[in-house]
Amino acid sequence: MRKLLAGAVVALAGLGLTGPTMAQDALTLQLKWVTQGQFAGYYVAKEKGFYEEAGLDVTIKPGGPDIAPEQVIAGGGADVIVDWMPAALAAREKGLPLVNIAQPFKKSGMELTCRKETGIEKPEDFKGKTLGVWFSGNEYPFLSWMSKLGLSTEGGPDGVTVIKQGFNVDPLIQKQADCISTMTYNEYWQVIDAGIPEEELTVFKYEDQGVATLEDGLYVLKESLNDPAMVDKLARFVKASMKGWEYAAENPDEAAQIVLDNDMTGAQTEQHQKRMVGEINKLVDGSDGTLDTASAENTVEVLMGGGSDPVITKQPEGAWSSVVTDKMKEMQ
């Protein structure tokens, strides 16, 4: 029997099936949205072999309007999810022990885009207006902002009327809303492409209004961090992912093409994805994946400033950890 086993090992070695190739660790990543330039770093890391070099077999699962990353990881469908911190903290307060292990995006891309013809020039002008807002966890920063402005979201002359915005820009184009939610890298350009020039728009970036919250962080369940082997796997994953983001910054057109190659729906266009990757690179801004705790604490402050109905009601404990990025930095 020993001779047979030895012979098998020799045969496998001859086929190049021993060593790192046999030791690849499986890991599943759930994205927050569909395949697009927003997630270019992960697709690049997979396509260019960065995950494979790190001993990982990574499965990337696209998201969509009916997919909540928090529910996917709670049900065991993913090891890591891409999520916005407001949604993650809200889920955490409800009992799901999500922990931020890395933060590829340094800046927020969220904004409110309005037609100038509505007379809106400053946030105080929102009073009495109709605003389009995304829900499914994306509404939290908006609600905190309105609370900060002292504006009710129940409508009326002294408040704002909120309409549930689909993941498109139709309410602004069709004049159903005075302003809509947009991202710097996506919907804003859809408005431009729909024929409304920039000079006819007034844009309020959440970053400029002091109500920005962290977006597109990497989250795992707390139990994952209790397993040293899993921490090692996650550290390799984050390191390879950030290598993918670095490559995307240096080669944006190639990164956009890699995204297009992985879009099984055929819905994305080359022009839009190239533009998106360029805008996303501004948000990543050379990050090595390390979370800036001051930004996390600011996110918490924004979310707790929701007046009588805050997004979260208490300071979260253990909601982020540097154990994975610390381990990543130890790796050569």
pLDDT digits (tens, 9 = 90+) for 246-283: 999 999 999 999 999 999 998 899 999 999 999 999 99
pLDDT, tens only, 98-143: 999 999 999 999 999 999 999 999 999 999 999 999 887 678 889 8
The pLDDT, as a whole number, for residue 137 is 67
pLDDT mean across residues, the chain: 91
Q: How far is it, in rounded angstroms, from Cα 148 to Cα 128? A: 16
Q: Which residue(s) pair with 221 in the sheet?
A: 98
Residue 12 pLDDT exceeds 70: no
pLDDT tens digits, 16-44: 444 444 579 999 999 999 999 999 999 99
What does the pLDDT look like over 143-172, one tens digit per residue?
888 988 999 999 999 999 999 998 889 999
pLDDT in tens, 284-308: 999 999 999 999 999 998 888 766 6
Kindly report, as residue ranges, where domains of CATH 3.40.190.10 are found in the chain: 2-107+214-330, 110-205
Residues 6+ apart with CB under 8 A from 87: 69, 70, 137, 138, 140
Q: Is 145 left (phi over 0), alpha (psi -120 to 50) or beta?
A: alpha
Beta-bridged to residue 179, according to DSSP, are 114, 131
**What is 2-107+214-330's CATH number?**
3.40.190.10
- Give the right CATH number for 110-205 from 3.40.50.10470, 3.40.50.2300, 3.10.20.30, 3.40.190.10: 3.40.190.10
Share of the chain above pLDDT 70, in %: 92
Its pTM stands at: 0.88
The residue-averaged pLDDT of 83-111 equals 96
- Amino acid in position 110: M
